[in-house]
Structure formats: structure tokens, C-alpha cells
A and B are shown apart, each in its own frame.
Chain A
């Protein structure tokens, strides 16, 4: 699976949009982009995934560039409960989920 690069940490003001970038320049055509987050002491929680098109669900939006070499996870209105480590994972069907170091997002009141 392709490797991903994420900033180690970010801050976001409460109520503002949090935009978390991920670089996956070596992604293959059959690899999906997944986002998970881990709130302290809890198991990783699935957020969203996509292949080519932008995706939106009740938690977040996923914007994938046209060349698929990078993506952005958008939390539209960040709350204090969104403070967590966010992992970007690139994975092909049949392969496993390998977690990197992620981005530690702190939502500031």
C-alpha cells in the first residue's frame, strides 16, 4: 500500500472548519483513501473513505485531488470532542489497514 504523509499536529478554533491534509503521491489506481480518528484511550473510529470522487457523510467531507496524490479531510464545524489523532490510510481491497503517526488535532475553545 502507498505511504501517506500528514502534519504531526494542527490546531483549530471551535466552530471553525478543520482541514486536515494528507499526501499520498504514490497511490495506485485501485487504492482507496480512508480516514480514521482516535480519541484518547479509545479504539480507532472510522470517519470516511473514497476512491476518486469527493465524499461527504454526517461526520466529515473528503476531498481528493484529481491526480489522487493528496486529499483533505474537512470537519465543517469543529467541536471540542473532535480533538483526536486523525489517521489517513491508503489501502487496496484485500490489503490491510496500516496506521502511520497521524495528525494530532486540537480544537481550541
Chain B
């Protein structure tokens, strides 16, 4: 398996633009997580899905952020409109729900909003 795949790896956009980050989880995993990492706040859990259903989005910073998981093999995190303070590295992770197994992380998307 190629692991968790995120795209793009780097994104630079202007303030006010819409940004869409993409994630393909490991095949067979039924839990998916979106994290954000900044120097100030470290790794923050934004939202997670079980069996494509959003379970807890309490970590989503505000209404400008939305996440979807239309099927078991794809998820998006959208920011609209983007702001400079959204600049961060966004990680996607997946795991098999209901076991003690670990979560596997993608390589992240580095977002810069100018």
C-alpha cells in the first residue's frame, strides 16, 4: 500500500481564495482524521470521520473550514475564504476503527496564504 496520500504537497494562495486539500486514506481503513500543525499550537485535531461520517468536528476553527468524505477512499478539507492565519501544514491520517492499531499519517500539505 502506498500509505496515506495527500495532495497537493504545497499550496500558495492569495487571501480570500478557496483552498481544497485532498486525502486518500489507506485502503481498508475506516477512520480518517484531519490535523493542522503550526509552531504556535502544535498538532491540532480538526475533524475525524468513521465510516465516511463526520463524528467530531469540534476542532474545526470556524465556519470557513469544511470537510467531506464522499466515499471510503477520498476526503477533502476546504477553506473558503482563506486567510493568512490559516497558513500551516495540514495532515491527514487513517486507521482501522475499533482496534488498538495505530494511525498512519500522510506527508502533509504545506499551505501558505499570502
Residues of A within 8 A of B (CB): 32, 34, 36, 41-46, 49, 51, 87, 93-94, 96-101
Contact = CB atoms under 8 A, between A and B. Distances in A.
Contacts, number: 46
Contacts of B98: 93-94
A43 B100 contact: no
**Contact-size category for B:** 20 to 34
B107 A96 contact: no
B45 A42 contact: no
Contacts of A101: 42
A13 to B, nearest CB: 28
A97 B33 contact: yes
Say whether chain A's binding surface is mostly helix, strand, loop, or mixed. Answer: loop
Nearest to B3: A43
Nearest to B50: A94
B33 to A, nearest CB: 7
Say whether chain B's binding surface is mostly helix, strand, loop, or mixed. Answer: strand
A67 to B, nearest CB: 20
Interface string B39-66: 0001101001000000010000000000
B42 A99 contact: yes
B106 interface: yes
A34 B99 CA distance: 13
Contact of A97 (B56, B99, B103): B103
A37 to B, nearest CB: 11
Given A94-B98, A96-B33, A97-B33, A44 B105 contact: yes
A43 B106 CA distance: 6
Interface in B74-114: 89, 91, 93, 97-100, 102-108, 110
A41 B43 CA distance: 12
Given A43-B106, A43-B107, A97 B45 contact: yes
Given A46-B102, A93-B100, 4 more contacts: A43-B4, A43-B91, A43-B93, A96-B33
B45 A98 contact: yes
Nearest to A38: B43
A96 B43 CA distance: 13
